[in-house]
Amino acid sequence: MRGYTGTMGAYVLDLTDRLFMRQGAEALGFEAPELPAMKPFEYPVVKRFFASPEGSGLKQDAYELYSDVYTAVQSINRLKKEGRIDELNSFIQSRQNLLAVKSGIYAVKRHLDKARKYKSAILRSDIDPELKRYQIDQLDAEINEMLKVMPELKRMADQKAFRSTY
């Protein structure tokens, strides 16, 4: 629908979701939780001109670096399994910087996964919308604080020099 109707269709979908979530849930026989209170920059039309203060650049960097490290680890495992020792040694040598950040980026990924599950639980909970908003804001602040390590992890991985495509 968004593809055919553009921004106005997106506004209508957002409004419809908010208005009918409760009625649809009740029709299916369960009670839908209240959505968190909206911040001023989250309202339709207004959100077009304002970005969330949390942003998502560092989070995207974390997922991309995790993907690169994970791909490199999978390649190493495959080369070991196939007994391609010369290629394995060459691959490890060329990816030393990337492999050096493995434990750090895996820890970041675990934290992000845990935070995503916790945020989902908050959204499903039956608490006051203002309290929900507060808890989500606190969780977002914690995530942002944790993501401050990303520029250093990227620098250590020398990620700009290559992308793991093996």
Task: Flag whether 74 is in a domain.
Answer: yes
Domain membership flag for residue 35: no
CA dihedral 108, 114, 116, 118 (to 10 degrees): -150
Q: What is the C-alpha separation between 150 and 79, in angstroms, rounded?
A: 29
Q: Which residues of 15-51 are buried (b: 16+ CB within 10 A; e: fewer)?
A: eeeeeeeeeeeeeeeeeebbebeeeeeeebeebeeee
pLDDT in tens, the chain (166 residues): 556 666 667 667 666 766 666 666 666 666 666 666 665 555 555 555 554 555 578 999 999 999 999 999 999 999 999 999 999 999 999 999 999 999 999 999 999 999 999 999 998 888 898 999 999 999 999 999 999 999 999 999 985 444 444 4
The domain in which residue 150 lies consists of 56-161
How many domains does the structure of the chain reveal? 1
Which pLDDT value is given to residue 127?
A: 87
Residue 39 placed within a domain: no
101: closest CA among 155, 147, 145, 142?
Answer: 155
The answer to whether position 70 is within a domain reads: yes
131 inside domain: yes
